[in-house]
Amino acid sequence: MPKQPIAQTWRESEEEVVWQGRFITTKQRGNWEYVSRARNIRAAVILAIDEEDHVLLVEQYRVPLRRACIELPAGLVGDADGMEGEDPTEAANRELESLGTFKADAMPIGDIAKYTAKIMRADMAAYDADPANYTQSLGCWHGFIGQQKLISIKKHFGTTKGRYLYLSGWMVAALRSEFGPLPDQSMHEKTSVSDLIEELYTFLRQADARELGGLFRDLDAAKQAGDAVNTHRLLHKIDEFQTHIVPIIADIDAGFGNAEATYLLAKKFIEAGACCIQIENQVSDEKQCGHQDGKVTVPHEDFLAKIRAVRYAFLELGIEDGVIVARTDSLGAGLTKQIAFVREAGDIADQYNSFLDCDEVDPANIGHGDVLITRDGKLMAPKRLPSNLFQFRSGTGEDRCVLDCITSLQNGADLLWIETEKPHIGQIGGMVNRLREVIPNAKLVYNNSPSFNWTLNFRQQVYDAYAAAGKDVSAYDRTKLMSVDYDTTELAVEADERIRTFQRDAAAQAGIFHHLITLPTYHTAALSTDNLAREYFGEAGMLGYVKGVQRQEIRQGIACVKHQNMSGSDIGDDHKEYFAGDAALKAGGVHNTMNQFAA
């Protein structure tokens, strides 16, 4: 008779209670022995961060280990008589208060959003005081990418201040959908964006745990060596530790449906940690990438309903200072799906309809099925396409953008996003100046898009400036300025300098509070993979990887060269030692090949 598998044996065995105390129950199932909390008691572990970004840790004597441990605050849930069914957040707050001077803000779903919203609001106020205080972000499509970005920022600059994460709907569609790569047309699963927000913050919290774990291991070693100076230095670093948690600006596209659908999805975003939600004024089921043709906008009342839906979601979850970015695609959108309903002359709907491309109609010549409106006492027929969409008058894009922005800020939006066809400070600044005649502190989020050919655009801007100033440009062909032949010319050098200072100059001259690149890590992944494939599969062979990747990681201090550490191996060893003491079977021993990278 074949021997019964062990897994099957214990699954079929009855669980037996061997012993039960007030707090712990010892159990046995087959050959397995284990413990659990008695009386349905649970535990709450607290990651407490104060207003200065300090992580609160406590030192407590642990009887099983016979020594003091530095650890996160934690306490039992529902362990006292009469407190069965206690809410974990109440138990966590009670534990903090028992430490003396600490009291938590509300700690329900959305606590990350609440924390990061305060950061973003403070940054917005700092920008209002001085435009040199603009902020930046890079688009990330995976938690690991976001984590590495923040680790790099802390390494190079010592602080994450003013640096955020951007979550692009384009990259979610292209890289995260179960359907495979999709265009930026809101066809991906709507919850894939909130899933990515949660994933990003999971990786950022792991970055905190990894860095703090390393500091505490070094602290233990310093204490054991009797090194008072290093002990003091490490304690100071722990006290001044800055979390990797930063604000995320999350792209909700056009809301993935009506206002109710927008509200429900916004709640998912906020629960996952987003303090800032970007929404655009395109038709949800006709949505296009902002840098492609065929964009269709909605009347203002429809868009404002979705802004209010996002605000409602923030308020319902207790995030009173959540940030809404209202994006207008009107500059490049020449179509609308519907004619706005006008209640009285001059209202917002009437202003929207005033941009429609119309022909005056003789009442005697009205055709069957014609759609008609009145304008200044005249009967007008808006131009309707076979797609049943209506056309705006050519040249009205900037005026529509300005109206979009003003109404959005007056109805709950905090920041604006104007999608442009080129990175031109004069064009952006011209629209912002018009906005600020009505709303003096209007601020933009601006897409420093990879869809722009930055080299060609700025070389052409310099060429045009030279020509306007009467400077000889006969040595240049404006249509071929991308050529490498121009790379060392005066024009190319000046264009590169304008690109270098673009964000600073646009912040000062065009009201741009936040500069982001939507798709940078999409392109860096493709470029680095191409470089590696060319070398590794070519004559260089293994040297292609060693010289182009690993050697660079070592010499540039890239933390991922110790990939076992980055994946959490050392964190796991710390846990094993805490759980099992000297009996722990740890991965980070003398035979771990990661030790080759210690130097």
DSSP string, 283-320: -GGG---TTSS--EE--HHHHHHHHHHHHHHHHHTT-T
Return the CA Rg of the chain. Answer: 30
User: Which positions ≥6 away from 398 have C-beta within 8 Å?
Assistant: 331, 430, 431
Q: Enumerate domains of the chain plus CATH numbers.
A: 6-40 (no CATH), 49-98 (no CATH), 108-340+395-458+497-518 (3.20.20.60), 533-597 (no CATH)
- Report angle CA 573, 579, 583 to the nearest 5 degrees: 75
Mean pLDDT of 119-130: 97
* Predicted pLDDT at 100: 61
Burial class of 516 by CB neighbour count within 10 A (0 to 12, 13 to 18, 19+)? buried
Residue 126 CA: distances (Å) to CA of 74, 240, 270, 412: 36, 22, 24, 21
Separation between Cα atoms, residue 341 and residue 343, nearest integer Å: 7
Separation between Cα atoms, residue 11 and residue 30, nearest integer Å: 8
Residue 585 CA: distances (Å) to CA of 33, 574, 580, 582, 589: 19, 11, 9, 8, 9
Pairing of strands 390-391, 335-336: antiparallel
Assign 361 a pLDDT band (cuts: 50, 70, 90). Answer: confident
Mean pLDDT of 21-46: 80
Mean pLDDT, rounded, of the chain: 87
What are residue 67's DSSP bridge partners? 62
- Is 90 exceeded by the pLDDT of residue 299? no
Burial class of 111 by CB neighbour count within 10 A (0 to 12, 13 to 18, 19+)? buried
* Predicted pLDDT at 293: 53
Mean pLDDT of 226-240: 92
Cβ atoms of 274 and 197 within 8 Å: the answer is yes
Cβ atoms of 508 and 433 within 8 Å: the answer is no
Mean pLDDT of 100-129: 81
User: Which positions ≥6 away from 230 have C-beta within 8 Å?
Assistant: 218, 222
Structure tokens at 223: 């204490």
Count Cα neighbours of 202 within 13 Å in the Cβ-side half-sphere: 12
Residue 479 CA: distances (Å) to CA of 138, 430, 456: 30, 26, 9
- Is 90 exceeded by the pLDDT of residue 527? yes
* Predicted pLDDT at 598: 65
Assign 188 a pLDDT band (cuts: 50, 70, 90). Answer: confident
Which of the residue ranges 24-38, 79-93, 257-271, 395-409 would you say has the lowest mean pLDDT?
79-93
Q: Is 69 a catalytic residue?
A: no
| Four-residue CA torsion sign, 489, 428, 138, 442 | positive
Mean pLDDT of 108-127: 89
Pairing of strands 248-251, 276-280: parallel
Cβ atoms of 324 and 279 within 8 Å: the answer is yes
Of 399, 441, 385, 444, residue with least CA distance to 418: 444
Mean pLDDT of 262-283: 92
- Is 90 exceeded by the pLDDT of residue 490? yes
Pairing of strands 390-391, 296-297: unpaired
* Predicted pLDDT at 499: 97
Structure tokens at 445: 């989020």
Total-model pTM: 0.78
Share of the chain residues as helix, strand and coil, in percent rounded to the nearest 5: 45, 15, 35
Separation between Cα atoms, residue 491 and residue 489, nearest integer Å: 5
Of 594, 463, 486, 524, residue with least CA distance to 152: 524
- Is 50 exceeded by the pLDDT of residue 6? no
Cβ atoms of 167 and 197 within 8 Å: the answer is yes
Return the DSSP state at 253: T
- Is 80 exceeded by the pLDDT of residue 173? yes
Mean pLDDT of 533-562: 92
Structure tokens at 33: 């022995």
User: Looking at 289, 358, 401, 405, which residue is catalytic?
Assistant: 289
Pairing of strands 135-139, 163-167: parallel
Which of the residue ranges 54-63, 92-101, 390-399 would you say has the lowest mean pLDDT?
92-101
Output phi, psi for 80, to 5 deg.
-85, 150
* Predicted pLDDT at 324: 97
Cβ atoms of 350 and 376 within 8 Å: the answer is no
* Predicted pLDDT at 126: 97
* Predicted pLDDT at 415: 97
Mean pLDDT of 303-321: 93
Place of tokens 């703090």: 212
Structure tokens at 437: 């005649």
Separation between Cα atoms, residue 155 and residue 559, nearest integer Å: 10
Which of the residue ranges 40-54, 166-180, 364-378 would you say has the lowest mean pLDDT?
40-54
Mean pLDDT of 384-404: 90
* Predicted pLDDT at 583: 73
User: Residues 372-393: pLDDT tens digits?
Assistant: 888 888 898 899 888 888 999 9
Assign 563 a pLDDT band (cuts: 50, 70, 90). Answer: confident
**What percentage of the chain carries pLDDT values higher than 90?**
54
Helix (H) or strand (E) holding 492: helix 490-500
Assign 285 a pLDDT band (cuts: 50, 70, 90). Answer: low
Cβ atoms of 76 and 86 within 8 Å: the answer is no
Assign 106 a pLDDT band (cuts: 50, 70, 90). Answer: very low
What are residue 278's DSSP bridge partners? 251, 325
Burial class of 184 by CB neighbour count within 10 A (0 to 12, 13 to 18, 19+)? buried
What residue spans of 354-424 are helical by DSSP H?
397-410
What are residue 556's DSSP bridge partners? none
Q: Which residues of 66-97 are buried (b: 16+ CB within 10 A; e: fewer)?
A: eeeeeeebebbbbbeeeeeebebbebbbbbbe
- Is 80 exceeded by the pLDDT of residue 110? no
Separation between Cα atoms, residue 562 and residue 564, nearest integer Å: 6
